Amino acid sequence: MIGGPLGVVAGAGAAVAAKRTFQRLGAVVRRRWLDPAEEHRAAGAFGLALEEINRRIEGGERLRDDGFFADEDNGRSAGEELLEGMLRAAAGAYEERKVPFLANAYASLAFRPDIGRPYANFLIRLIDGLGWRQVVLLGYVATNAEVRDFATANSGAPIPPPEPPEAVFAELDALGAQDLIAVVQQNGTLAPWRTVMGEGFREIGIGRARLTRIGSDLSELMRLSQLPPIDLHEIFETISRA
């Protein structure tokens, strides 16, 4: 259930404010969200985010101390606002494999004073709108060489039934349309996907796909290096059939 023990998020300054944020919003969410499946997902994200914050504090990292967790005139902090956004996104994530990565994003933002409130909210909204395969595709583009190594070394690994490669390329194009991935040019610069007129990534080739600044921020915040290798392998196998 949401609103359980808060572990080691305690101490002075930002840590105390962060603890208060989790306590207060956890109680509100538990009272208001009655659908069992939604509460299960929100509670999972809540616990995972808290666990990751605790782990990083125990590892010597310091929470952001820029007022992110400080109450404003309306009685809410930016941290509480963002936590509510993350929990609502998690509650509505019927593709439940996305939930741990939403939790990672919030936990990461708790340590990133270089990412302000508007951009942080924008990033959470972006993650909310991504399907699971789009999350995996971001990780694939970020770690393409490692994926190929995995696919070569594990060619006998079980994978789901094949699906049309067109579906994967359509989702890649959708990521390009959101400026999360771009196209690398011969001189090494990145061109927005929409400027490569008349071509999608099926014609361009996924080898030329690169994360944009926003895509890189999402990958880092969600810790997409933790994606299940089998999901990356599935992308590799599907694209290889194109």
What is the rounded distance in angstroms from the CA atom of residue 23 to the CA atom of residue 15? Answer: 12
Residue 161 is classified by DSSP as: P
What is the rounded distance in angstroms from the CA atom of residue 230 to the CA atom of residue 208? Answer: 23
Last residue of a domain, one of 129, 157, 183: 129
Residue range of the domain that includes 233: 133-240
* Predicted pLDDT of residue 52: 93
- Contact 3/23 with Cβ under 8 angstroms? yes
Chain-centre distance of CA 229, in angstroms? Answer: 16
Residue 18 has pLDDT above 90, yes or no: no
* Predicted pLDDT of residue 27: 57
* Predicted pLDDT of residue 13: 47
* Predicted pLDDT of residue 7: 45
* Predicted pLDDT of residue 183: 92
pLDDT tens profile 185-234? 889 899 988 787 667 888 888 888 999 999 999 999 999 999 998 888 88
The band of 240, judged by pLDDT with boundaries at 50, 70 and 90, is: confident
Last residue of a domain, one of 79, 98, 129: 129
Higher pLDDT, 107 or 159: 107
pTM of the model: 0.83
Residue 90 has pLDDT above 50, yes or no: yes
Residue 23 has pLDDT above 70, yes or no: no
* Predicted pLDDT of residue 143: 84
What is the rounded distance in angstroms from the CA atom of residue 219 to the CA atom of residue 212? Answer: 10
Pair (231, 151) in one structural domain: yes
What is the rounded distance in angstroms from the CA atom of residue 143 to the CA atom of residue 224? Answer: 9
Query: Does any domain span residue 109?
Result: yes
Pair (109, 192) in one structural domain: no
Pair (25, 119) in one structural domain: yes
Pair (21, 106) in one structural domain: yes
What is the rounded distance in angstroms from the CA atom of residue 168 to the CA atom of residue 239? Answer: 7
Q: How far is CA 68 from CA 17, 18, 82, 150, in A?
A: 9, 9, 10, 40
Pair (18, 123) in one structural domain: yes
Higher pLDDT, 84 or 2: 84
Q: List the helix and strand counts (H, then E) for the chain.
A: 11, 3
Pair (61, 74) in one structural domain: yes
What is the rounded distance in angstroms from the CA atom of residue 58 to the CA atom of residue 190? Answer: 39
Pair (120, 28) in one structural domain: yes
Q: Report how many domains make up the chain.
A: 2
Query: Does any domain span residue 97?
Result: yes
Q: What is the rounded average pLDDT for all residues in the chain?
A: 82
Three-state secondary structure string covering 51-64: HHHHHHHHCCCCCC
